[in-house]
Structure 1
Amino acid sequence: MNRTLQYRGNAENAGMRIGDFLRSQGYSRHVIIHLKKTEHGILLNGEWAYVGQTLKEGDVLEVHIIEEEFSEQIVARELPLTIIYEDEDLMVINKPADMPIHPSINNYDNTLANALMWYFEKQGQPFVYRCINRLDRDTTGLLIVAKNILSGGILSDMSKKREIHREYLALAEGKVPESGVIDAPIARKEESVIERCVDFEKGNRAVTHFWRLDEWNGYSLVRLKLETGRTHQIRVHMKYIGHPLTGDYLYNPDYRILDHQALHSWKLAFRHPITGEQMQFRADPPWWPVGTEFSGF
């Protein structure tokens, strides 16, 4: 992946060292080291430049992000891939059910990473896999993939600061209360590697906000926002209040309606890591209402 960015010296940044200016734009130490090792990685008025040089008004600073390596452990596979948005810096993907995010021992070639490797291999482009927000294997919906080392670093930092805003839709059993907040700590369940549970002694604080939007044949359509990001948080919290998600193989293996958990990342909002533009995406769930048209809201 090659990415060229250009900046101009002005009254605001004049006198700043190039390294300090780049850091103000979100360049991490790791990215700056990468640029220093790249031939013509940093140019000032067309000439190779040190990060210690200072900017003047009217200067033209060019940054060339060149990545020729690729994720060697990820094999390319032609798999379903729905791209909602793509530019030079990032992609927004609508992930289907039964697709893990990362390869593992039992999921070597059936993941989102494999699908993206195939996508870029067809274009003859090297690709380093940088998935910003994780979704469980059977959770559907929107997630972000960074396309270069700079956007990846900025987006990861935004994720840690909870500046990437996500909303989920879920199909829960029974009539869920109209709205509420679940504040119940979550811990790993004893003798289980995967399963989590509410544990007020050993758990980490977890907070989920929810709103009931609709009802259908003994099920509720629920909108959810996370205040924290614990593993399986929505699934565990909804079971805790007596309204587990239908089709959840770990916490409620009832497959009368769906063969996978009815949890969907439907709304995503964040600031573009390079341009600063506010971005918002939406993808309606593939499973609601069952057999009828989704009206939206």
Structure 2
Amino acid sequence: MNKNIQFTHKVSREDDGKMLKQVLRNKYRFSKRMMSQLKLNRLVTVNGEVVYFTSRVKEGDEIEISFMEEESEQIRPQPVPFDIVEEDDDLIVIDKPPGLVVHPTRGYPEGTLANGLIHYWKKRGEKRKVRPVTRLDRDTSGLMVVAKHAYAHAFLADQMAKKRYERMYYAVVHGQVPEEKGTIDRAILPPDQAGIRSLTSEEGYPARTHFAVIWRFADATLLRLHLETGRTHQIRVHLSSIGHPIIGDTLYGSEDDQQLIGRQALHAAHLRLFHPRFREWREWKSPLPPDIRQLLEKLKPWE
């Protein structure tokens, strides 16, 4: 059966004499909504007893917070292959293969990563909602994080909003990028009816992508990219805007790359986040997948 997620905290000298609700807010940054749920459902104890949130705590008191078991989403469990890089009580880090949609949509109602996660958890007798912290396009491979409960998701989403995270990608693009490194800082508009996003110099969603050249080929370049923002299609539309679309990207590039690779050559290779429980940085890496390595072998060397 699913066990309740629990957090424990021993009251420090600095918090001696403070109200319980102050300690909870300072330590965990709970939202007002989450504080109300914890209070209403009597999910916080001090030294094993439920107390008022206005009660004063003293140094050495042990505070325990429990999160109730969640009802699973109405997503059909299906065995979907994906690799788990790391998993703990709060999050699961996945190395997503290309061709896998993260969550059911009208066009992809089944066979998604979410279907696979629900199936994986159900086999272990666990009920969870799928809460992606980072997302990847269907044909982008690599690392992504899914939170396993509401607090972890809220904490990590807040960290990302404050830009307390690092994401690094590799992309193989058309043409030789002349600069050794640079930054694309252009806002992105919402998608049109065809799902295509474009850039704007006026109103739009701010987006910033840093790039550095790793290797140049005769008619292509291998780039390393770091994101400051995480807009949908950000890397793809930014690189296309400077005249170097990603090889295999039929939406923002050419439809004539199928002989080279069957999807956009974009891979999320490195991820670094501040952990919601341990309050320390954790990082993960993923090597280039076989199809991108094969693409690099096909490209002509720079003479």
TM-score > 0.5 by shorter chain: yes
Gap change, CA 1:220 and 1:59, over 3 Å in 2: same
Aligned partners of 1:263, 1:139: CA distance in 2, in Å?
5
Which amino acid counterpart does residue 185 of structure 1 have in structure 2?
A: A
| Of 119-128 and 179-188, the range deviating more from structure 2 | 179-188
Q: Which amino acid aligns with 1:8?
A: K
Alpha-carbon distance, 1:184 to partner? 2.8
Higher mean C-alpha deviation, range 225-234 or range 87-96 = 225-234
Larger helix fraction of residues: 2
Q: Number of aligned residue pairs: give it.
A: 290
1:140 counterpart residue number: 141
One-letter amino acid of the counterpart of residue 284, structure 2: F
Q: Please name the residue that 2:294 is paired with.
A: 290
Q: Deviations over 1:175-198 (max 9, x none)?
A: 123211222332246x53410122
Distance in 2, Cα, partners of 1:107 & 1:208:
29
The answer for the alignment partner of 2:55 in structure 1 is 53
Unmatched 5+ stretches in structure 1: none
Residue 201 and residue 37 in structure 1: after superposition, are their counterparts in 2 closer, same or farther (change >3 A)? closer
Q: Which amino acid is 1:240 matched to?
A: S
The one-letter amino acid of 1:6's match is T
Whole-Å separation in 2 of the counterparts to 1:291 and 1:196: 26
Deviation of the 1:161 alpha carbon: 1.4
Checking the alignment, whether the CA contact within 8 Å between 2:70 and 2:129 is kept in structure 1 is: no
1:15-26 equivalences in 2 (<5 Å) = 15-26=17-28
Structure 1 residue 119: Cα displacement = 0.6
> Is the CA contact 1:139–1:265 (under 8 Å) kept in the aligned structure 2?
yes
Report the more deviating stretch, 192-201 or 167-176: 192-201
Residue 205 of structure 1 deviates from its aligned partner by 3.5
Q: Residue 173 of structure 1 contacts residue 218 of structure 1 at CA under 8 Å; is this kept in 2? A: yes
Pair 1:134–1:259, CA change in 2 (3 A): same
Q: Report the secondary structure of 2:7's partner residue.
A: strand
CA offset at residue 201 of structure 1?
A: 4.4
SS at match of 2:110: coil
* SS of aligned partner of 1:64: strand
**Paired AA for residue 264 in structure 1:** H
What is aligned with 2:300? Answer: none
Specify the alignment match of 2:173 in structure 1. 172
Alignment equivalent of 2:284, drawn from 278, 281, 285: 281
Does residue 95 (structure 1) correspond to residue 99 (structure 2)? The answer is no
**CA displacement at 1:29 relative to structure 2:** 2.1
Deviations 1:25-73 (A, max 9, x none): 222222222222335x1111111122111111221211122224221x2
In 2: Cα distance, 1:194 partner to 1:291 partner? 27
1:268 Cα offset (Å): 0.5
Aligned AA (1:162): K
User: Which position in structure 1 is the counterpart of 2:251?
Assistant: 250
Output the amino acid matched with 1:65.
Answer: F
Moved over 4 A (4+): none
Asked whether the 8 Å contact 2:171–2:222 carries over to 1, the reply is yes
Provide the residue aligned with 2:271 in structure 1. Answer: 268
- In 2, distance between residues paired with 1:152 and 1:101? 16
Judge conservation of contact 1:7–1:61 (CA < 8 Å) in 2: yes
Contact 1:246 1:255 in 2 (8 A): no
- The question of 1:32 aligning with 2:28 is answered no
The 8 Å contact of residues 185 and 205 in structure 1, kept in 2 or not, is answered as yes
**How many Å separate the matches in 2 of 1:284 and 1:21?**
42
CA contact (8 A) 1:216 1:289 kept: no
Give the Cα–Cα distance (whole angstroms) in 2 for the partners of residues 202 and 43 of structure 1. Answer: 48
Map of 1:121 onto structure 2: 122
Aligned-partner Cα distance in 2 for 1:77–1:226: 32
Q: Contact 2:7/2:277 (CA < 8 Å) preserved in 1?
A: no
